[in-house]
Amino acid sequence: MAITFSCAYAQTKDPVIEEKGTVTIMLVDGGPMVVDEVSESADGYWYKRGNMSTFLDRARVKSIEYPKLAAEANEPPPSKARWSLAEATKVKDFFRDKFDRPLPLSAFGQSDLHTRWGLDHRNGMDVGLHPDSVEGRALIEFLRAQSIPFLVFRGPIPGVATGPHIHIGNRSPRSYGH
């Protein structure tokens, strides 16, 4: 059974146009289905094509395949570049120039959560973007071009990440605050 709904709303600015066909749903009883985005719920998956959202029962979905950036095909070893929060301005400026809005930071430097988890995040910042979104992919391409170290998280990892985001800075050793 599929439930479909649509939602329309007014915006004061032109929205960022997402590239179509960014996610592929592999069905158990059929071929691939290319969609704009997918979100998981307890009972299955909501997928979006254009302005229509549709629900798929979990039993019908074999797997979800996210795109790889062209540069990810031959992923280089982790960057040994040095990073400091003093360089954050160039990342913020890039994002504002490209998307005409501030960089959506979820953490800038050490937060209480990072301290509780024993992570040294003093020279890191977390950007609240899914790495597979149009904005996330553009930010990743910029970081690579500038040799700025980063990590991507596509979902929560207990004790490491609360959800999808892009961590800018070197990997946090588990040493701070303990």
pLDDT digits (tens, 9 = 90+) for 77-94: 444 567 788 889 999 999
Residue 83 corresponds to which tokens in the numbers above? Answer: 């990073």
For residue 141, the tally of other CB atoms under 10 A from its CB is 13
Residue of 25 and 95 predicted with greater confidence: 95
Q: What is the pLDDT of residues 127-144, one digit of tens each?
A: 999 999 999 999 999 999
Residues in the chain: 178
Asked if 156 and 163 touch (Cβ cutoff 8 Å), the reply is yes
Coil, helix or strand at residue 55: strand
Alpha helices in 39-166 (DSSP H): 88-99, 112-116, 134-145
**Ramachandran quadrant class, 159 (left: phi over 0; alpha: psi -120 to 50; beta: rest):** left
Mean pLDDT for all residues in the chain: 76
pLDDT at position 26: 85
Taking alpha carbons only, the member of 52, 35, 169, 38 closest to residue 114 is: 169
